[in-house]
Amino acid sequence: MSSEGIQNNCKSRIIGLTGGISTGKSTVSQYLATEYHLPVLDADIYAREAVHLGSPILNAIAQHYGTNILQADGTLNRQQLARIIFNNSTEKQWLEAQIHPYVRDRFEQEIDKLSAPTVVLVIPLLFEAEMTDLATEIWVVSCLPQQQIERLMQRDNLTVEQAQARINSQMPLSEKCDRADVVLDNSSTLEDLKQQVDLAIEKILRPS
């Protein structure tokens, strides 16, 4: 956990919620929003904003890869882009260098607007994008490797090889867990996961 993040943020608690792809981050964030009414800021939303039609970042992507990376209406062909970046680490790094600064700026803007004592930042690439300083504590959602592959295959209609390539493109889940303040094990039932979240929240709300 970064002391710089604590010093730079005026909020009492800023939870950096992360994990591996398809481990259950959205399930946890939705529960925090509905059960505890915590404001949730999502990196994926800001990443989509970054490449909206006519944006400078989308234009840079089109210049880099050619106009075949765009749909007929001029929007980004995400499937085509995914095929490129999940098979080429250099291209993935290039793309992230375009998008991550925008995402960080959006987080900082929205954090400044909020007055809630606890805020949740959902950042799949929290460690990879070096955004840990935005949070005062880090929660990692984990599950068994085979579960992760199966969930990703089902969610995105991928082959085993495609799913594994996307998992391999991220920091190993075990390393993320080692760096977490809270690890949420999503290898059992939804009820079990919610109970783990409840315990983690109780620690936040409990007077020191």
- pLDDT by 10s per residue, the chain, length 208: 333 443 344 558 999 999 999 999 999 999 999 999 999 999 999 999 999 999 999 999 999 999 999 999 999 999 999 999 998 999 999 999 999 999 999 999 999 999 999 999 999 999 999 999 999 999 999 999 999 999 999 999 999 999 999 999 999 999 999 999 999 999 999 999 999 999 999 886 665 4
pLDDT at residue 11 in the model: 59
pTM for the predicted model, two decimal places:
0.89
DSSP the chain: --HHHHHH--SSEEEEEEESTTSSHHHHHHHHHHHH---EEEHHHHHHHHT-TT-HHHHHHHHHH-GGGB-TTSSB-HHHHHHHHTT-HHHHHHHHHHHHHHHHHHHHHHHHH---SEEEEE-TTTTTTT-GGG-SEEEEEE--HHHHHHHHHHHHT--HHHHHHHHHTS--HHHHHHT-SEEEE-SS-HHHHHHHHHHHHHHHHS--
What residue ranges define each of the domains in the chain, with the CATH number in brackets?
A: 3-39+114-205 (3.40.50.300), 50-103 (no CATH)
Q: Among residues 46, 13, 58, which one has the least CA distance to residue 32?
A: 13
The closest of 130, 129, 110 to 121, measured between CA atoms, is 110
| pLDDT score of 12 | 80
- Find out whether 108 and 118 touch, Cβ atoms under 8 Å: no
- The angle at the Cα of 194, spanning 16 to 138, to the nearest 5 degrees, equals 15
Joined together, the tokens standing for residue 162 give 């495609």
Residue 75: CB atoms within 10 Å = 13
